[in-house]
Structure 1
Amino acid sequence: MITSAQLRGARAMLGLTTETLAIESKLPVTTIEALETDVSSAEAKALVAVRSVLEARGISFMASGSDEAGGAGIRFKHWAEDGGIRPENLNATNDD
């Protein structure tokens, strides 16, 4: 189960507005706002739609206790599959 905080954080990490996320998930803006306030009262279909959009854009959701220590979280998926350069490896010589 993902949390409202994870949804807000994922959207913020991607720099998406609620309007953009609503369009891409084919949901009303009010549904996005409701999910980001209280995910427990959401319809499963709405949560799946939003999660799918965020994951397709590169977000990985972590369950509580799934990574060493700490609670639920989010991070960018690994980019090694597409041969891209990880952000920490960018520098003036390889910044296109």
Structure 2
Amino acid sequence: MLTAAQIRAARALLGWSQPALAAAAKLSLPTIVRMESQQGPGRSAAANVEAVQRALEDAGVCFIAPEGSGGGGPGVRLKHG
């Protein structure tokens, strides 16, 4: 499951604004704002979380799961071009 921090970090790596992510994921801006808030994506519909993840991955983001981070927790990075 994605975290709010991962979504914010992924956007930062891409230089995307919240409206840009909303457009790429075909979701409303309030949905993106809510997913990045303290409530996090866990309160969103699974299809919305998948849409955000897919949009970010299509743009070149790799999500790092907590168990794959060497003890550093969940994270993000850009794919090698």
> What TM-score results when the alignment is normalised by the length of structure 2?
0.91
Task: Show CA shifts across 1:7-39 (max 9, x none).
Answer: 011011111011111111111000000111111
Cα separation, 2, equivalents of 1:78 and 1:68: 20
Question: Which has a greater percent of helix?
Answer: 2
| Structure 2: runs of 5+ lacking an equivalent | none
| Structure 1: runs of 5+ lacking an equivalent | 80-96
RCO higher in 1 or 2 (8 Å CA, sep ≥ 6)?
Answer: 2
How far is the alpha carbon of 1:71 from its aligned partner?
A: 0.5
Based on CA coordinates, which of the two structures has the bigger radius of gyration? 1
What is the aligned partner in structure 1 of residue 31 from structure 2? 31
What is the aligned partner in structure 1 of residue 42 from structure 2? 40
Cα separation, 1, equivalents of 2:65 and 2:32: 21
How many residue pairs end up in the alignment? 79
Percent of aligned positions that are identical: 39
Whichever residue aligns with residue 72 of structure 2, its letter is: G
After TM superposition, the runs of 4+ consecutive aligned structure 1 residues lying more than 4 A away are none
CA RMSD of aligned residues (A): 1.0
